[in-house]
Amino acid sequence: MMALDASVLNNPLVQDLQAQKEVMWVNPDYRKAAATTQLSQAALFDAEARFRRFGAYMAVAFPETAATGGILESPLHKIDRMKASVTAREDYQVAGNVFLKADNELPISGSIKSRGGIYEVLKFAESVAIKAGKLAYLDDYAVLNEPEFHDLFSQYGIAVGSTGNLGLSIGIVAAKLGFKTTVHMSMDAKAWKKDLLREKGVNVVEYEGNFTQAITAGREQAAADPTTYFIDDEGSTDLFLGYGVAAIRLQKQLKDMHIPVDEDHPLFVYLPAGVGGSPGGVTFGLSQILGEHAHAIFAEPTHIPSVLLGMATGLNDQISVYDIGLDGMTEADGLAVGRPSRLAGRVLKPILEGIATFDDDRIMAYTAELRDTEGIKVEPSATAGFAALREAQPYLTTQYPHLDQATHIVWATGGMLVPESEHERNYQLGKAILDR
């Protein structure tokens, strides 16, 4: 633990976090602070174009993506039954419609990590192939599935530190391309995620410690080997942009569903946060593509509210939840990250509306409830947006006059690859809470 300034320890919000209270923090800099990032809309379109170039490769290498031309995207489901059930049970009201952005259905990793993680692997592969003089931007990228490229990529390593899903997305695609792939996993990572990666030929290194320790060890090992490329969940711009592409796709989905986003029809998006990279990238994308009437709110476990602690104290990645004495223990393995990314707090300062924290029991209950009401199976982390949905409503009603025409999107971040036995365990735990 580092020595903390009295101004941090005397901050009433920090004291609430130390006491593991559920809080709804409203960002005082929202739409006030100056933009703090060099990242532009052009960078998002560059990422979208790269995904398109790789469509032909993805369609042959991962035939389950052929129907969409190798483009990975998830559906937007209207969830009226869940809305009715959860608002009655947790005793609150939501004006407007509630949707689920089903990233649990995203091909390959079955999680939001299929956006950023896969994007950064593809970008690295493209740069290697182009530098080797074997690929041109206008080529049909399906050639990347040929043995010649597998041989080329096998001379390079890709490494990443992960609580699970990022390792899955990167590991599966990097190994398929031919890279020597190493995933450094923290103690929170589920055994089935490690097993699945080993099956795909990925070298899984396990740590006794938390995510920060695993990623630090991974970064150091990769730095010692010039042929290994390290994908840095604590600061990568490419990961961030890959996630941000979601907003370009969401704009089209909303338009096709005749859902406007404007002053009379505000949009609210509720996202679970770990390091803040995937929800941060989506939030950046929303601000660039959908503009000022799209608002994002994050959700974090009371035991490990890393992005909130960093943003509310202004210390960003210079403080971790362990510094204020929290234990970091949560059922939400995808959110089990004690220190936020270097990018998140800085980029999000003017564009994130707020962050809610939640007790683990609530996500277990939502997991069972979503299955009962909508027949949708996700991992517990993925339901955290429902906690933010509830905590944000009292505040939103004071801020926005047209909530009855609002659209609310709970971002379901993962679940497709979860084994049936694990779904069953989560369901039983959630049911027991619902029945209390």
Ligand X SMILES: *Cc1c(COP(=O)(O)O)cnc(C)c1O
Question: What is the binding site for ligand X (CB under 6 A)?
Answer: 111-113, 165, 272-279, 334-335, 337, 379, 381-382, 413-414
Please, what is the minimum distance in Å from the beta carbon of residue 404 to ligand X? 30
Please, what is the minimum distance in Å from the beta carbon of residue 287 to ligand X? 17
Please, what is the minimum distance in Å from the beta carbon of residue 372 to ligand X? 20
**C-beta of 111 vs 228, nearer to ligand X:** 111
Please, what is the minimum distance in Å from the beta carbon of residue 152 to ligand X? 30
Please, what is the minimum distance in Å from the beta carbon of residue 274 to ligand X? 3
**C-beta of 149 vs 284, nearer to ligand X:** 284
Radius of gyration for the chain, computed over Cα atoms and rounded to the nearest angstrom:
21
3-class secondary-structure state, position 160:
strand
Classify the C-alpha dihedral 167-324-90-270 as positive or negative: negative
**C-beta of 113 vs 342, nearer to ligand X:** 113
**C-beta of 173 vs 337, nearer to ligand X:** 337
Please, what is the minimum distance in Å from the beta carbon of residue 80 to ligand X? 24
Distance of alpha carbon 198 from its chain centroid, rounded?
23
**C-beta of 178 vs 414, nearer to ligand X:** 414
**C-beta of 96 vs 277, nearer to ligand X:** 277
The vertex-68 CA angle with 170 and 167, nearest 5°, equals 10
Please, what is the minimum distance in Å from the beta carbon of residue 387 to ligand X? 13
Place of tokens 């979601």: 246
Please, what is the minimum distance in Å from the beta carbon of residue 243 to ligand X? 7
* DSSP assignment string, 95-139: -SEEEEEEGGG-TTTSBTHHHHHHHHHHHHHHHHHHHTTS--TTS
Nearest alpha-carbon partner for 241 in 282, 295, 294: 282
Could you tell me how many residues make up the chain? 436
Identity (one letter) of the amino acid at 418? V
**C-beta of 161 vs 276, nearer to ligand X:** 276
How many helices (H) and strands (E) would you count in the chain?
A: 17, 11
- In what helix (H) or strand (E) does residue 298 lie, and over which residues does it extend? strand 294-301
Show the tokens assigned to 184.
């450094």
Distances (CA, A) of 68 to 65, 119, 222: 6, 17, 35
Helix residue ranges per DSSP H, 208-339: 211-223, 237-256, 277-289, 306-313
Please, what is the minimum distance in Å from the beta carbon of residue 162 to ligand X? 8
Q: How far is residue 278's CA from residue 288's CA, in Å, rounded to a whole number?
A: 16
**C-beta of 70 vs 272, nearer to ligand X:** 272
Q: How far is residue 266's CA from residue 184's CA, in Å, rounded to a whole number?
A: 40
**C-beta of 165 vs 212, nearer to ligand X:** 165
Nearest residue to ligand X by CB is: 274
Angle, helix 385-399 to helix 80-89, in steps of 10 degrees: 80
Pairing of the two strands 76-78 and 97-102: antiparallel
**C-beta of 128 vs 271, nearer to ligand X:** 271
Place of tokens 């990250």: 337
Distances (CA, A) of 144 to 61, 199, 208: 9, 22, 37
Please, what is the minimum distance in Å from the beta carbon of residue 151 to ligand X? 32
Q: How far is residue 156's CA from residue 182's CA, in Å, rounded to a whole number?
A: 11
**C-beta of 129 vs 308, nearer to ligand X:** 308
Please, what is the minimum distance in Å from the beta carbon of residue 28 to ligand X? 22
Taking the CA atoms of residue 55, residue 60, residue 63 and residue 69 in that order, the dihedral angle to the nearest 10 degrees is 30
